[in-house]
Structure 1
Amino acid sequence: MKQLKIFLIIFLTITLQAQEMRKAYINGKIYTVNEKQPFAQAVVTEGNKIIFVGNNDEAKKLITSNTEVIDLKEKFMMPGFIDNHVHFITGGHYLLGIDLRSAQSTAEFKRILNDYAKKYPGKWITGGYWNHENWEIKDLPTKEMVDEAVYDQPVFVERLDGHMGVANSLALKMAGITKETQNPEGGLIVKDPKTGEPTGVLKDNAMNLIYRIIPEPSEDENYQALLAALNEAKKLGITSVHDITYSDALKAFERAKSEGKLTCRIYTRWPIADYKSLVEKNIKAGTGDELIKMGSLKAFADGSLGSSTAWFFEKYNQDTTTFGLPMDIVTDGSIEKWCSDADKNGLQLSVHAIGDRANSYMLDIFEKIIRTNPQWDRRFRIEHAQHVRFQDISRFAQLGVIASVQPYHCIDDGVWAEKRIGPERIKYTYPFKSFLEAGVKLCFGTDWYVAPLNPML
């Protein structure tokens, strides 16, 4: 089947223009998302508003001497995509940096690292987003493997899910990580069972031991990453994203907006640990303007399936020593207190939960908040909602919790998920149809950089 080219980008990006110019798009095959009139020939816009959808003859009545007319020549046009879950600036850095996702073997993994190091001598090598499940050996990489490729400059490259990474010996030494280093709460330093030496792999909060010594990108580097991300989104017809946002990213968004280069609407979601700063500024869900909105928070209840840190009621089939890894804010009770207080102050909560226990735990918290806090249009979200007990599916609907899911993970995680959790739990993995049948609201996204940004996939 030939790939369908989507020409929407020329359509809904025009709604981002402030100028009140009238434009007429004629002779198209325009998908309207209106069941009563699914297709049309023409669209007429004025400034930021669509003022007509219908046939060519009626559209031509609205064309004046000042109207710009675009002949679509029977090409396909549709509304823009909203991606519910992206790491937008990080995705831009990925486009501009090292790509280990494409490595299909350990040899290729090392070759890509070595080539990049030669191109950028002395530079920290980060990102990469490898997937060991694609290699001929499914074992996790080690510091020795990375050392063979790069030994004289620091390396810490992440797995594609962002919940673990592997460092070379130099990076471990710079971070002071040895066999005596204890696991931080909510994190794991993987160690050789025979020697006790760190293997180089760090999971979840243990990654912070290295992150804290990696130089932060400059403002200009973040801005260039944003421009790369915007260009990628524009090519794929994405006109709005829900972003996992940090303060340095907001500076880049505001700069692009002021320079007229922000071709995508940004709905920001801030780390829940920063919620008090939003409360102090009287920011609530939806605060902002047409291009940049604030007032949503992101928290993590657990890790990922690929890193065996997603939190389950039963132990992993592949590793019977672990149930997964609840985050430190779960184990110390912070997440429940923060969620309740943030909700009282009108901030939307969206919480990453992948394992069935993490999902159930968050539903319990949301239920308490609904019972005790004043009512408002809170729109709780669970990000990923990937492995859910059957009895918890209906609770999403009863509590009005949105399942914010990323279907592409069926492709990348789905290949090996059963190996991790066995044939029974796999029955309630990615339960999109069951969610819909239970009356749960779903929203879709890509989780880019973790998965490709292309919404058609």
Structure 2
Amino acid sequence: MLLAVSANSAPPQEAPAADLILTNGRIYTVEAGAPWAEAVAIRDGRILAVGTRAEIAARKGAKTRVVDLHGRLLLPAFGDAHAHPIFGGMSHARCSLSAGKTLDDYRRIIAECVARTPGTGTVFGSGFNQSLFPPKGIPRKEILDEISSDRALIFESDGHTLWVNSKALELAKITKDTPDPKNGTIDRDPATGEPVGGLEESAMALVDALVPPPSDADLQGAITYSVRLFNSYGITSWHDAAVEWDKGGTSRAIQAYKAVQDRGALTMHTVMDLRWNNARGIEQMADILKLSDDARARGLTAKGVKFFIDGVIPQQTAAMLAPYEGTTEKGAAQISLDMLAEAVTALDARGFQPHFHAIGDAAVREALDAVARTRSHDGRTDTRPMISHMNVIDPADQPRFGQLGVTAVFQPLWACDEAYMRLTMERIGPVRSTTIYPAGSILRSGGRLAYGADWSVASANPFEGIEVALTRIAPGENLAPLGPDEAVTLEQALRAYTLDVAYVNHLDTETGSIAPGKSADLIVVDQDLFKIPARQIHATKVLVTLFRGTPVYGGLDRLAR
């Protein structure tokens, strides 16, 4: 039986008419008290009323456009709580390896990139899968050397590892005698000490000078590409999880966002994190405040700060509470708890939101401890801390998310049996592997989830993420589910992709659900997620995406039968 959202009874005669009415649909509102409706009225880009077909028909005026949904499912537009729009857009504009599935694919793609890139300069790209380099996921220079020995080839995986050829190592003067930088590793041959072609964490900076910087047009093009892609997936809100900036308080990324916004092409609610520089101290607060003020003056929001506490598990750079399997190594935090807590407390006092990259269970605990110290100092402020990734969370720490008001930002597509996950489980062993992405446990213990893809590290398509969140199985695979007890319901997954992304963006009164007064950010999809098997959700397509009441993907005419 359809539970309808009241339109606050029939409007009086003088009530404003709608510009647009979407009717005869199955409308899932993500409003807890009344989740279902049949029609929605929109005026001036905002939701005027939600209710039954009869109630909303009363909002029709002489100029109202009425669109029959023919029973289709309408949802609030999705959000993404952890995206890298500039990095992701640039990765597709340069030499993207994301479509490659094998090393031979990489050889072909890179050779094509070299051939079409004039001159003798560096060829830079991203998107390689570390699981194609067994047994430890460390990339080898020899593969790239076969393609080019006279120009630098540099490829990024996930923001934590670079794959480089011998020429890049030579130009950067990286030899067996080069010491590992703080918080970084030069991958080496265990017998000779020679660099093998992998650079981890801060060691990536050793080749920075070889990577050609993007132009202003490149940055703007990257944002525009990402907006269009995300709109096609039904996403109209994102959290840019690491905006780069220069010492002194300037950011070309913020300037690029402003330029795209001025062209009317930023069809996305945008919130930005400014990246914390672990090599500096609390003095960088002055630059961060200046950057945030600059963003606000440009009509943008940058009141989050991203802290990178650790690395990743396959390369054993993630910080763990106990040693990796078969070793005495536990990884290490890249920022001390004292420094982190001081920074978070200082930010909290100024209303800034802390966002932590934490993959290992020790890093997750450090992030929670930093928030706890801040809470003891400042109380329960509304800065809405977030921790992203959390491949492993110790069971003792899982209830602390709800207790401290920290949102767990998972990448749901990762919570399944696939090649990279197998590398992870090999490193941490079978016991800790039972605590991988414990989404269900976080919810059961009173915590909040918000989903983000970490694009372009993973697909930004929310339907793929929703399917894995429900099944813990990769789309199209027939493997056993990964920790099936940690699966969530469809309703929980939809909330984590909509209203709770809006919550971490401090936009939950503006978007994230279908309710009167909110921005008309809506999507119509081609199949009803509530009526199909969960293993079919990934194939769902968006027919129309509305942002502030205007189609930004597809068209309303597309809904006609």
TM-score category (smaller protein) = 0.7 to 0.9
Give structure 1 stretches of 5+ with no counterpart: 1-19
Q: What secondary structure sits across from 2:21 in the alignment?
A: strand
CA positional deviation for 1:456: 1.1
2:294 is equivalent to residue 297 of structure 1: no
Write out per-residue CA displacement over residues 352-395 of structure 1, whole angstroms, 9 at most, x where no aligned residue. 11111111122222221211235521222211222111111122
> Which one of the candidate residues 93, 97, 102 is aligned to 1:100?
97
The normalised TM-score by structure 1 is 0.87
User: C-alpha distance in 1, partners of 2:133/2:185?
Assistant: 23
User: C-alpha distance in 2, partners of 1:146/1:219?
Assistant: 29
2:456 is equivalent to residue 449 of structure 1: yes
Equivalent in the alignment of 1:124? 122
Matching residue's letter, 1:330: S
Q: Spell out the pairing of 1:361-380 with structure 2 (5 A cutoff).
A: 361-373=366-378, 375-380=380-385
Call closer, same or farther: CA 1:250–1:46 in 2, change over 3 Å. Answer: same
CA positional deviation for 1:36: 5.2
Call closer, same or farther: CA 1:103–1:282 in 2, change over 3 Å. Answer: closer
Write out per-residue CA displacement over residues 250-273 of structure 1, whole angstroms, 9 at most, x where no aligned residue. 222211211111111111111123
CA positional deviation for 1:212: 3.8
Equivalent in the alignment of 1:410? 415
CA positional deviation for 1:101: 3.1
Q: Spell out the pairing of 1:272-421 with structure 2 (5 A cutoff).
A: 272-273=276-277, 275-280=285-290, 283=293, 288=296, 292-317=300-325, 320=327, 322-327=329-334, 329-330=335-336, 334-373=339-378, 375-411=380-416, 412=418, 413-421=420-428
Write out per-residue CA displacement over residues 268-327 of structure 1, whole angstroms, 9 at most, x where no aligned residue. 11112354323357759xx95998422111011100123321111222226x25322421
Work out which structure has the larger RCO, using CA pairs closer than 8 Å and 6 or more positions apart in sequence: 2
Equivalent in the alignment of 1:22? 19
* Deviating more after overlay: 253-262 vs 242-251: 242-251
* Deviating more after overlay: 56-65 vs 164-173: 56-65
Q: What secondary structure sits across from 2:314 in the alignment?
A: coil
* Deviating more after overlay: 442-451 vs 139-148: 139-148
CA positional deviation for 1:121: 3.2
Equivalent pairs, count:
432
What percent of counterpart residues are identical? 32
Q: What secondary structure sits across from 1:369 in the alignment?
A: helix
User: C-alpha distance in 2, partners of 1:198/1:220?
Assistant: 35
> 1:381 touches 1:402 (CA, 8 Å); kept in 2?
yes
Call closer, same or farther: CA 1:398–1:59 in 2, change over 3 Å. Answer: closer
Q: What secondary structure sits across from 2:396 in the alignment?
A: helix
Q: Spell out the pairing of 1:19-418 with structure 2 (5 A cutoff).
A: 22-34=19-31, 37-122=34-119, 123-134=121-132, 140-159=138-157, 161-244=158-241, 245-246=243-244, 247-273=251-277, 275-280=285-290, 283=293, 288=296, 292-317=300-325, 320=327, 322-327=329-334, 329-330=335-336, 334-373=339-378, 375-411=380-416, 412=418, 413-418=420-425
Write out per-residue CA displacement over residues 372-425 of structure 1, whole angstroms, 9 at most, x where no aligned residue. 235521222211222111111122222222211111121354333221110111
Matching residue's letter, 1:317: E
Q: What secondary structure sits across from 2:253 in the alignment?
A: helix
> 2:138 touches 2:315 (CA, 8 Å); kept in 1?
no
> 1:304 touches 1:310 (CA, 8 Å); kept in 2?
yes
Q: What secondary structure sits across from 2:61 in the alignment?
A: coil
User: C-alpha distance in 1, partners of 2:183/2:33?
Assistant: 51
User: C-alpha distance in 1, partners of 2:421/2:134?
Assistant: 18
Call closer, same or farther: CA 1:453–1:192 in 2, change over 3 Å. Answer: same
Call closer, same or farther: CA 1:190–1:136 in 2, change over 3 Å. Answer: closer
| Aligned-pair Cα RMSD in Å | 2.5
User: C-alpha distance in 2, partners of 1:136/1:302?
Assistant: 22
CA positional deviation for 1:158: 1.5
Q: What secondary structure sits across from 1:360 in the alignment?
A: helix
CA positional deviation for 1:30: 2.3
Write out per-residue CA displacement over residues 86-130 of structure 1, whole angstroms, 9 at most, x where no aligned residue. 011111122323232333332222222112211223353223211
User: C-alpha distance in 2, partners of 1:288/1:68?
Assistant: 36
Matching residue's letter, 2:348: D
Call closer, same or farther: CA 1:59–1:139 in 2, change over 3 Å. Answer: closer
Matching residue's letter, 2:438: P
Equivalent in the alignment of 2:431? 424
> 1:265 touches 1:290 (CA, 8 Å); kept in 2?
no
CA positional deviation for 1:62: 1.8
> 2:27 touches 2:38 (CA, 8 Å); kept in 1?
yes
The normalised TM-score by structure 2 is 0.72
User: C-alpha distance in 2, partners of 1:303/1:374?
Assistant: 30
User: C-alpha distance in 2, partners of 1:434/1:125?
Assistant: 44
Call closer, same or farther: CA 1:139–1:429 in 2, change over 3 Å. Answer: closer
Call closer, same or farther: CA 1:21–1:98 in 2, change over 3 Å. Answer: farther
Call closer, same or farther: CA 1:282–1:174 in 2, change over 3 Å. Answer: closer
> 1:104 touches 1:135 (CA, 8 Å); kept in 2?
no
> 2:341 touches 2:374 (CA, 8 Å); kept in 1?
no
* Deviating more after overlay: 378-387 vs 447-456: 378-387
Equivalent in the alignment of 2:509? none
Q: What secondary structure sits across from 1:127 in the alignment?
A: strand
CA positional deviation for 1:21: 7.9
CA positional deviation for 1:348: 0.9
User: C-alpha distance in 1, partners of 2:369/2:169?
Assistant: 39
Call closer, same or farther: CA 1:280–1:416 in 2, change over 3 Å. Answer: closer
Write out per-residue CA displacement over residues 140-179 of structure 1, whole angstroms, 9 at most, x where no aligned residue. 22112111122232211122x2211111111112222111
CA positional deviation for 1:67: 2.4
Write out per-residue CA displacement over residues 11-66 of structure 1, whole angstroms, 9 at most, x where no aligned residue. xxxxxxxxx98222233332222355443332211113101222333333322233
User: C-alpha distance in 2, partners of 1:112/1:323?
Assistant: 36
Call closer, same or farther: CA 1:103–1:236 in 2, change over 3 Å. Answer: same
Call closer, same or farther: CA 1:290–1:431 in 2, change over 3 Å. Answer: farther
Matching residue's letter, 2:403: Q
User: C-alpha distance in 2, partners of 1:138/1:309?
Assistant: 12
Large movers: runs of 4+ above 4 Å: 134-139, 280-284, 287-291
* Deviating more after overlay: 426-435 vs 71-80: 71-80
> 2:125 touches 2:154 (CA, 8 Å); kept in 1?
yes
> 1:102 touches 1:130 (CA, 8 Å); kept in 2?
no
User: C-alpha distance in 1, partners of 2:54/2:349?
Assistant: 53
